[in-house]
Amino acid sequence: MRFTCGTGDAMGMNMVSKGVQNVLDFLRSDFPDMDIIGISGNYCSDKKPAAVNWIEGRGKSVVCEAVIGEDVVKKVLKTTVPALIELNTLKNLTGSAIAGSLGGFNAHASNIVSAIYIATGQDPAQNVESSHCITMMEAVNNGRDLHISVTMPSIEVGTVGGGTQLASQSACLNLLGVKGASKDSPGSNSRLLATIVSGSVLAGELSLMSALAAGQLVKSHMKYNRSSRDISKINGS
């Protein structure tokens, strides 16, 4: 049995647990010999990669798409539309399929999801299913421009409760314009946060895939992600 509930701007797991407990108490009144082994049977499925989340969704299901002009692909991303499409097919689709990936048909969605979750007071462990993502690329406008999309069926976010009340995390939510509960349209703040997550993932996919297609990944890491100082000659602890 899998319960589906509207939880407003809260991520809602505690709310659902309370509701399910009441359902179980009600059922027990009709079936007194019923044994309740545990309130969760893992069919939810929380903090674990699961096909049920990939297929049915959990939390917010979001599709984000964009068209990137040919000139931007060449001048800014330093690659070409055909090169990006071929890489996406061979890496994110074929490679992930050969590896037996579940919801991992992307370059690095979890990097972006984890960063935003920590910054905005979400449950970092829910990065597992929230990072389920398939990245698609195709040529449009007579093959000149790039259409990119990310489909993320199980983004679990909230703008009230839990870590969202911490000072730094609350400030980040306020910066994004999604802090707290929406009184006019309950649930709209958490839905907007989910779209922000998805849009950020799309940008991250475009960035990393372009670096890979242009052969710049390792060179960039060596230039920007390594200290130029010889630490063996630095005294002190």
Decide if 172 is inside a domain: yes
Between CA 204 and CA 185 the distance in angstroms is 30
Joined tokens for residue 198:
């998805």
Q: pLDDT (tens digit, 0 to 9) for every residue of the chain, 237 residues total? A: 889 899 999 999 999 999 999 999 999 999 999 999 999 999 999 999 999 999 999 999 999 999 999 999 999 999 999 999 999 999 999 999 999 999 999 999 999 999 999 999 999 999 999 999 999 999 999 999 999 999 999 999 999 999 999 999 999 999 999 999 999 999 999 999 999 999 999 999 999 999 999 998 888 878 887 766 766 666 655
Query: What does pTM read for this prediction?
Result: 0.91
Domain with 137 in it: what CATH number? 3.90.770.10
> Is residue 54 in a domain?
no
The reply to whether 40 falls in a domain is no
Whether 232 is covered by a domain: the verdict is no
pLDDT at 219: 83
pLDDT at 196: 98
The answer as to whether 106 is a domain residue is yes
Q: What is the pLDDT of residue 222?
A: 82
In a domain, 143, yes or no: yes
Domain count, the chain: 1
Residue 64 lies in a domain: yes
The answer to whether position 71 is within a domain reads: yes
Q: Which domain holds residue 184?
A: 60-217
